[in-house]
Amino acid sequence: MSENLPIVEEQREVHLLDYWRTISRGRWTILSVFVVIVTLVAIGTFTQKPVYRARATVEITSQASKVAPVADVSQLGTSNFGWSAEERYFNTQNEIIKSRDVAQRVFDKLDLYHHPMFRKSSDPVGVFSSMVQVELIKDTGIMQITLDGPEPKEVQTWVNSVAEAYVDRNLDLSIEATGRAVKALLSEIAPMREKLQDTQRSSFELAEKENLYVPENQQKITNDRLSALQADYTETQVKAAELESVLKRVDEVRQNGGSYEVIPQISGDAVVQDVYREKAILERDLEKLSVTYKDKHVRVLEKQSEIDKTNQKLASEVDRIISNLRTQYALLKDRESKLAVAINETRSESLRVNQKASNYELMRTEALDTKRIYDLISARVKEIDLSASLLSNNLRVLDRAPLPQMPIRPRPILNLLIGVMLGLLLGVGTVFFLDYMDNTVRTSEDVERYLKLNILAVVPRDNDATRRAVREAYQTLRTSLLFSRKARTANAVLVTSAGPQEGKSCTSVNVARTLANAGEKVVIIDCDLRRPTVHQWLKLSKDQGITNYILSTEGDDWRTYLKTTDQSNLYALTSGPIPPNPADVFGHERFKRLLKELRQEFDWVFVDSPPAVSLADAMILASLCDMVAFVVKHNENDKDLIRRCVGDLRKINANVIGAVLNNIDLERSDYKDYYYVGYYYYGESSSSKKDRKRRSTTSLETVDDQGVEGKVTRIVG
């Protein structure tokens, strides 16, 4: 039993040769797209009006303004936005060059209001300013000003005028700023002179009245003495606090009966340390004697007496040290009090000195400030007067634009190269897109891989150039049928297709002729009762055919309706009158008996079937025949449609032996080498081809499935 087709298409590794075949198949599409693109690019290039470009350069120096104290641009830091001041400055100049102000100056100078490019515009100045392009040359202070236009002389004049207008504008602004500064300073200098005179006179009068002439270092001496007293006072306080802390610990030891060894000021005394060492030695000796003697022993008592004397000596030394500490503490507290009094007196003296000089110093400072401002304004007025006479500009035209010699657009060679590349890319892209969207059967691989059918033969499109290849294709189909036949009587072959006009009738007739030419006895039955064409291919009458036999009630013999053809061993049962329901004919018992008798009578029985796409006729006939040959027209029907038809045939257990890929265009497909066209077509001279044609073929004028008159090869041996 034949299995149904799988739903998912088998995956296959894509080879580079597949891409080449796709490109080869679509070479005419690629050529067409290429020609269209290149032609359009060429037309656009050679019809485009030339555009010329002129370029002038302006140098911007870092000269500071003489009107206001402005730092050199290159020395400025960064702004709050993270941009350097230099970058911000040049960006500003860039926008100034492209501004309406500069463009307006050029318009006024050249009177461009009536120029054809601008007179129709509602904003000619804006149009002109948008044409100006500016670029800063990296790591320099040079700006390139560029302008494009249709006339070389015009763009040269325009760009030079822009550069000049930019430089002139900067100079005009400097002159204007200088005038404003002089006017402002002159308006301030007279009141400032009067104020200076008033403050100086007032300070002198106050000094004489209050006797405020004091040594300049008097205040410093007082302050130094106050600082020394405060330092001594602080040191005395610290020492007194330390002694107070020690005395408190001494009192605590006396009250609690502790040891004075914890007090560094006592335990650190040299005499006390000696007494402590002496006591320690005596206590060790007593401890040794206690081991040998009783507590009342003379030696023990003597040693204990020595220890008591040592303790008395230690207590006497401690009292001496404590007495000294108390004396020192009393002296420090007394000194602290005296220093506090001295500090207060010195501070009062300092305040008196400061207060005495403050009024005078305030007035004197005011007079000095007024004089400094007056001197600054006077110097600024002189500087502005000098700069006005020697006014300079930090902008200058570095290079004027030369006359452009060649247009920048169009560039024919570059445009054509781009057109060629674009044409090729679009052409190849179009081919691959169409190839991707094309779901028809184009190659034998499609048949084998997608439809799961063996290739019985690949038949080229019939014309004079491919006649030999067509003959070879039907010889191949004949061989495939011979290998597919399982028994001598299993010789009924149904020839069908997915849709109409795919060449099934032509295939049936030609393979039948091929077998008959080889000596096989062949009959072909036209079972396409809806659109019968076998009689046209064989130039027979369709009257009195198979429908007459099947539907006859008189018991006629089928041989009565059997027709001979112009070729020996080839017979035909034409369709006969078209019945209202052809499926009833094929389901008739007489039709089944007819097929059985024809199998016995003939070596091959070919049944030309209706299309299998939506008719039950093909399904009925396939179930009655031994083999089914499926004709697939190249690049015609959808693969899914064909696969569904083949699947329907297999569902009824039809023996689909393979497919005939029909109507291949050798000039536009991948099968040219398959048929050795170099020998059969290109390699032969015209005389050789004519001789071979006379020896091996004759032409039969017939009508194909489309009703168009053409030539089908008839094999005559």
pLDDT digits (tens, 9 = 90+) for 108-126: 888 888 888 888 888 999 8
CA distance 239 to 243: 6
Residue 697 near residue 716 (C-beta atoms within 8 A):
yes
Secondary structure class of 498 (helix, strand, coil): coil
Environment class of residue 508 by beta-carbon count within 10 Å: exposed (0-12), middle (13-18) or buried (19+)? buried
Which of these, 459, 431, 450, 445, lies nearest to 633 by C-alpha position?
459
pLDDT tens for each residue of 269-316 = 767 677 777 777 877 877 777 777 777 777 777 777 777 777 777 777
Query: Rounded distance, CA 146 to CA 133, Å?
Result: 5
Residue 663 CA: distances (Å) to CA of 68, 270, 331, 497, 636:
92, 132, 135, 13, 10
Given a contact cutoff of 8 angstroms between Cβ atoms, the answer to whether 550 and 591 are in contact is: yes
CB distance 29 to 422 below 8 Å: no
Select the more confidently predicted residue: 548 or 681.
Answer: 548
The whole-number pLDDT of residue 708 equals 32
Number of CB atoms found within 10 A of residue 363's CB: 19
What pLDDT shows up at residue 510?
92
Residue tagged 């001494």 (tokens): 250
In this prediction, residues 505-526 reach a mean pLDDT of 93
DSSP state of 680: I
151-155, 259-263, 695-699: lowest mean pLDDT where? 695-699
For the chain, give the percent of residues with pLDDT over 90: 21
Beta bridge partners of 710: 702
User: Which tokens sit at 607?
Assistant: 């049944």
In angstroms, rounded to a whole number, what is the distance separating the alpha carbons of residues 59 and 170?
A: 13
pLDDT of residue 642: 86
Write down the pLDDT at residue 246: 76
Mean pLDDT score across all residues of the chain: 78
Q: What is the pLDDT of residues 36-57, one digit of tens each?
A: 999 999 998 888 888 899 999 9
Strand arrangement of the beta sheet that strand 142-149 belongs to: 132-136, 142-149, 52-60, 395-399
DSSP character at residue 565: -
Least confident of 47-61, 219-233, 267-281, 489-503: 267-281
- 472 is written with which tokens? 């070879």
Q: Would you state the structure tokens that stand for residue 368, as one six-digit string?
A: 């000095």
User: Is the sign of the CA dihedral 511, 513, 517, 522 positive or negative?
Assistant: positive
What is d(CA 367, CA 198) in angstroms, rounded to the nearest whole number? Answer: 8
Let me know how long the chain is. 717
Of 145-159, 537-551, 664-678, the least confident: 664-678
494 three-state secondary structure: strand
Q: What is the pLDDT of residue 683?
A: 39
Write down the pLDDT at residue 385: 62
Residue 3 pLDDT greater than 90, yes or no: no
* CA–CA separation, 249 and 230 (whole Å): 29
- DSSP annotation of 202: H
pLDDT band at residue 601 using 50, 70 and 90 as cut-offs: very high
The neighbour count for residue 72, using CB atoms within 10 Å, is 12
At residue 71, does pLDDT exceed 50?
Answer: no
Confidence class for position 360, pLDDT limits 50, 70, 90: low
Is the pLDDT at 154 greater than 70, yes or no?
yes
Q: 338: how many CB neighbours lie within 10 A of its CB?
A: 11
Q: Residue 342's pLDDT band (boundaries 50, 70, 90)?
A: confident
Residue matched to tokens 């309406």: 100
| Helix axis angle, 270-292 to 298-389, nearest 10° | 150
What pLDDT, on the 0 to 100 scale, is given for residue 675? Answer: 52
For the segment 83-110, the average pLDDT, to the nearest whole number, is 86
CATH architecture, domain 453-666: 3-Layer(aba) Sandwich (3.40)
Beta carbons of 529 and 541 less than 8 angstroms apart: no
- Per the CB < 8 A criterion, the answer to whether 702 and 539 are in contact is yes
Residue 658, classed as helix, strand or coil, is: strand
| Beta-carbon-side half-sphere exposure of residue 55 (alpha carbons within 13 Å) | 11
Q: Whole-angstrom distance between the N-terminal and C-terminal Cα of the chain?
A: 39
Highest average pLDDT, of 124-133, 266-275, 442-451, comes from: 124-133
**Distance (Å, whole) CA 528 – CA 519:** 27
Could you please report the per-residue DSSP string of 76-95?
A: --B-TTS-BHHHHHHHHHHH
Where is average pLDDT lowest: 171-175, 478-482, 490-494, 682-686?
682-686
Confidence of residue 5 (pLDDT cuts 50, 70, 90): very low
Q: Looking at per-residue confidence, does 689 or 519 come out higher?
A: 519
Has residue 517 got a pLDDT over 90? yes
